[in-house]
């Protein structure tokens, strides 16, 4: 049953992409996170940390419980499981995000590429050059190959639909409040929990990216092993450095990191190349998971 649920969820995501916002469980998660965020204590760091810890524990547990309840409903449980699992995946959406940067960049429209990057990731696009915009898009495609597919599939394999939903809830919480500044203490628990849940998937994503580009496999593996620790995140450096090695480019963020060896200047074509590698890694990894689940369920 689990193999069929995952296979159908992947197919729906690849063909149709994200469901409408009003019907999207992740949008509902975001609304719940935002509601609690806006009611957090404002001045006391300890109280804000405690509130954030409560959010990081209660919301994913609630999502997991709802997933388990949906699966248990007679007659419709499997169908609901497919739809809920689909909502935890974002393969098609990730590709569309890459195109929002790559297409205008190819046409020389830097402002359009900056607007597209704002949709794809949280990096401030103002003042970024064409090369920096291309690099940021490549980094996002590599890093989000884990968030969009490999990590939710990993947790689905371990814990079924509840696991995929709980992961997506934590990941959404991290995206909304898991950064320094205004949400320093409120989002700390969510950020650390997201780090823990991605420890294995991020490294698995790097392996799958390397396997998805056999012509530069050893370069990708070498750069990943050497440069993965160069980012502040314990996880993001793995897929990003693997992608840098596979494309033969250097991915940089001013004042933060430089992953890979200096190579040709980054351009729109590298975004398309990164997407092709990421797509093969995500779909290949998900299909391998489907096959493994099917074998495990074989009578």
Residues 101 and 268: their CA atoms lie apart, in Å, by 8
> pTM (2 decimals)?
0.96
Residues with Cβ < 8 Å from 208, sequence gap 6 or more? 145, 150, 281, 282, 284, 285
Kindly report, residue by residue over 26-58, the tens digit of the pLDDT: 999 999 999 999 999 998 999 999 999 999 999
Q: Residue 109 has what pLDDT?
A: 94
Burial annotation 201-220 (CB, 10 A radius, 16+ → b, else e): bbbbbbbbbbbbbeebbebb
Q: Residue 222 has what pLDDT?
A: 98
Q: Residue 227 has what pLDDT?
A: 97
Helices (H), 1-129: 2-16, 25-37, 45-72, 77-88, 91-106, 110-120
Q: Residue 43 has what pLDDT?
A: 86
Residues with Cβ < 8 Å from 171, sequence gap 6 or more? 147, 151, 194, 197
Residues with Cβ < 8 Å from 164, sequence gap 6 or more? 67, 84, 85, 88, 152, 153, 155, 156
Residues 273 and 95: their CA atoms lie apart, in Å, by 11
- Dihedral of CA atoms 207, 96, 288, 234 in degrees, nearest 10, equals 30
Residues with Cβ < 8 Å from 29, sequence gap 6 or more? 59, 63, 168, 169, 172, 173
Q: Residue 263 has what pLDDT?
A: 87
Which run of H or of E encompasses 259? strand 257-259
- Reading the block at residue 9, the tokens are 């969820």
* 258 touches 182 (CB < 8 A): no
Rg, the chain, Cα only:
19
Q: Residue 121 has what pLDDT?
A: 86
Per-10-residue mean pLDDT for the chain, 299 residues long? 96 96 96 97 94 98 98 95 98 97 95 92 87 96 98 99 99 95 94 98 99 96 97 96 98 91 94 98 98 90
33: nearest Cα among 175, 197, 181: 175
| Length of the chain, in residues | 299
Helices (H), 89-187: 91-106, 110-120, 130-145, 151-177
- Reading the block at residue 253, the tokens are 């963020």
101: nearest Cα among 275, 268, 274: 268
* 289 touches 156 (CB < 8 A): yes
190: nearest Cα among 41, 48, 38, 26: 48
* 246 touches 219 (CB < 8 A): yes
């Amino acid at each position: 049953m689990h193999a069929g649920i995952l296979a159908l969820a992947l197919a729906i995501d690849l063909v149709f992409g994200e469901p409408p916002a009003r019907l999207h469980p992740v949008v509902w998660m975001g609304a719940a996170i935002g509601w609690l965020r806006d009611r957090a204590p404002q001045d006391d760091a300890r109280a804000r940390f405690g509130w954030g810890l409560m959010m990081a524990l209660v919301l994913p547990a609630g999502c997991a419980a709802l997933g388990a309840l949906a699966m248990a409903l007679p007659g419709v449980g499997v169908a609901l499981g497919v739809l809920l699992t689909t909502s935890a995946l974002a393969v098609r959406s990730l590709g569309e995000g890459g195109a929002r940067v790559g297409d205008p960049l190819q046409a020389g429209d830097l402002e359009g590429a900056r607007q597209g990057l704002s949709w794809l990731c949280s990096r401030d696009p103002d003042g970024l050059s064409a090369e920096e915009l291309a690099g940021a898009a490549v980094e996002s495609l590599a890093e989000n190959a884990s968030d969009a597919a490999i990590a939710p599939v990993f947790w689905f394999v371990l814990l079924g639909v509840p696991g995929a939903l709980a992961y997506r809830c934590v990941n959404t919480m991290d995206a909304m409040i898991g950064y320094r500044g205004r949400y320093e203490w409120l989002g700390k628990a969510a950020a650390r929990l997201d780090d823990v849940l991605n420890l294995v998937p991020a490294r698995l994503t790097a392996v799958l990216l390397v396997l998805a580009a056999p012509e530069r496999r050893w370069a990708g593996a070498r750069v990943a092993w050497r440069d993965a620790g160069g980012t502040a995140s314990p996880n993001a450096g793995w897929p990003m450095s693997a992608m840098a090695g596979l494309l033969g480019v250097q991915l940089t963020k001013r004042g933060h990191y430089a992953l890979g060896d200096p190579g040709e200047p980054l351009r729109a074509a590298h975004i398309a190349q990164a997407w092709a590698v990421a797509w093969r890694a995500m779909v290949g990894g998900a299909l391998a998971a489907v096959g493994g689940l099917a074998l495990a369920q074989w009578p």
